[in-house]
Amino acid sequence: MSIKTLILTGYGINAEKELKWAFDLAGSETDIIHLEDLIENKSILSKYNILGFAGGFSFGDHIASGKVFANLIKYNVFEDLKKFIDSGKLVIGICNGFQVITKLGLLPSFDNSYEPVVSLTANDSGHFEDRWVTVKVENNKSPWLHGIDTLYLPVRHGEGKLITRDSATLERLKKNGQVALRYTNKKNPDDMSYPHNPNGSYYDIAGITNEAGNVFGLMPHPEAYYCNELHPNWTEGVIENKIGLDIFKNAVNYFK
């Protein structure tokens, strides 16, 4: 059986091609489709196993990152999307895609409410930044993270600071096991100052899942580490145990 992945693009999404590469290399059949085409033909969504929200600058991050793209989905294909999720299929949102699905309420979606209670806002540093960070898997009940302990990945964003509406929300995230990835400092885990936590995220959170674990959002870019030579230190022979590609392999293998 072939595993099919749909990646949405349009309106300033710009990391859809490498996300397709990653899914293809992981063994999926992957289509990139403009959001407008999905809105016109909503039923195609049900043909896919996996839905990917790629990184980029949808609508220029104007007003707030991901907000307008999220609204376009909310007011047009939200019901189909909920059905997709409720049926246990997999969804990933990376960087701008994470911002989109968080503002849409797909994450953390306590009690399946789709109510936005978490957001991603301007980095504490005050600016966009491209650097590699180490993240550790806090809870791998999500199929996306099966067998992965830590990952070295690039972050490339100006608005990646994960905040919660209040402290109760953060506690609930932790208690539910929805905190999937946290930034970490390999040399000195107690020192999580900048740039180990690159944006000032609460509780060093780099990625979260919904309660069921099938929807996963993260700020770092696993698709940007789909092969060894994308690692910053590969020229000195560094080879990591797991690379970004493994996340996509997990998703495809989940259906096999």
Partner 1 sequence: MKSTRIEVKNRPEFPEDSSILKTIKEDAHIIIDAVETVKAYNLQGDFKENEINLIRNDLLSDLVYQENKNGWSYYQELDYNFGVEVAYKNGVTDNVGRTTAQGISYILNKEINFNSVRASTMYFFKGKVTEAEIKKIAEKVLCNTLIEDYYIFNKDSFKPVEYFKTAQAPEITEYYKGIDLNVTDEQLMKISEDGVLSFSLEEMKIIREYYLSPIVSEARKNLGLPASPTDIELELFAQTWSEHCKHKIFAADIEYKNGSETKQIHSLFKTYIKDSADKLRKNRKDLLSLFKDNAGVVQFNDEYAYCVKAETHNSPSALDPYGGAMTGIVGVNRDILGTGMGAYPIYNTDVFCFGSPFTEDENVPEGLMHPRRIFRGVHRGVKDGGNESGIPTVNGSITFDESFLGKPLVFCGTGGILPLKSNGRDAYEKYVNPGDLIVMCGGLIGKDGIHGATFSSAHLTEASPTSAVQIGDPITQKKMIDFTLEARDLGLYSGLTDNGAGGLGSSVGEMAQFTDGATLYLDKCPLKYPGLKPWEILISEAQERMTIAVPKESIDQFLALAKRRSVDCAVIGEFTDNGTIQCYYKDAIVCYLDLDMLHEGNPKLQLKAEWKETVEVKVSSKETDFNLMLKKLLGRPNVASKESWVRIYDHEVQARTVNKPFTGKDNDGPSDGAVLKIFPHSNEGLAVTHGIVPRYSKFDTFQMAANAIDEAVRQAIILGADPDALVGLDNFCWPDPVESANTPDGKYKMAQLVRACEAVHDITIAYNCPCISGKDSMKNDYRKGSKKISVLPTLLFTATGIVRDITKTVSFYFKKPEQLIYVIGDTRAELGASEYFEMLNIKEGAVPKVLNPEETFLVYKKIAKLIEKRLLVSAHDLSDGGLSVALSEAAFSGNTGAEISLDAISSHLSVEEKLFSETPSRILVTVDKAKNEEFLQVIGEKNVFFLGKTTAHDMLVVKSGSKTVINEKLSELKSIWKNSLTF
Closest CB to partner 1 among residues 29, 37: 37
What x/- string results for residues 235 through 254 when contact with partner 1 is judged by CB under 8 A? xx------------------
- x/- map, 44-63, partner 1, by CB under 8 A: -----------xxx-xxxxx
Nearer to partner 1, 129 or 211 (CB): 129
134 binding partner 1? (CB under 8 A): no
Residue found by looking up tokens 């994450």 in the block? 107
Q: Residue 154 class from Cβ within 10 Å (0-12 exposed, 13-18 middle, 19+ buried)?
A: buried
**Which one among 154, 213, 217, 220 touches partner 1, defined by CB under 8 A?**
154
Q: Which stretch binds partner 1 (CB under 8 A): 34-42, 84-92, 135-143, 208-216?
A: 34-42
Say which of 95, 157, 159, 231 is annotated catalytic: 95
Q: Which range, of 113-121, 141-149, 172-180, 212-220, touches partner 1 by CB under 8 A?
A: 113-121
Figure out which of the listed residues 6, 50, 68, 94 binds partner 1, where binding follows CB under 8 A: 68
Please say if 221 is a catalytic residue.
Answer: yes
Q: What backbone torsions phi and psi does residue 110 show, to the nearest 5 degrees?
A: -60, 135
Give whichever of 104 and 143 is closer to partner 1, judged by the CB atom.
104
Shortest reach from residue 147's CB to partner 1, in Å: 23
Active site residue 129: no
Closer CB to partner 1, 49 or 96, in the complex? 96
C-beta contacts of 32-36 below 8 A and 24+ residues apart: 32/7, 32/8, 33/6, 33/7, 33/8, 33/9, 34/8, 34/9, 34/10, 35/8, 35/9, 35/10, 35/11, 35/69, 35/72, 35/73, 36/10
Is 18 a binder of partner 1 (CB under 8 A)? yes
| Residue 224 is a binding residue for partner 1 (CB under 8 A) | yes
Residue closest to 154 by CA, chosen among 248, 85, 231: 231
* Catalytically annotated residue among 16, 138, 221, 231: 221
2 contacts partner 1 (rule: CB under 8 A): no
**Binding positions for partner 1, rule: CB under 8 A:** 9-12, 14-15, 17-18, 21, 24-25, 34, 36-37, 40, 55-57, 59-64, 67-68, 71-72, 75, 103, 116-119, 121-132, 154, 156, 163-165, 221, 223-227, 229-230, 232-236
Active site (catalytic) residues:
95, 221, 223
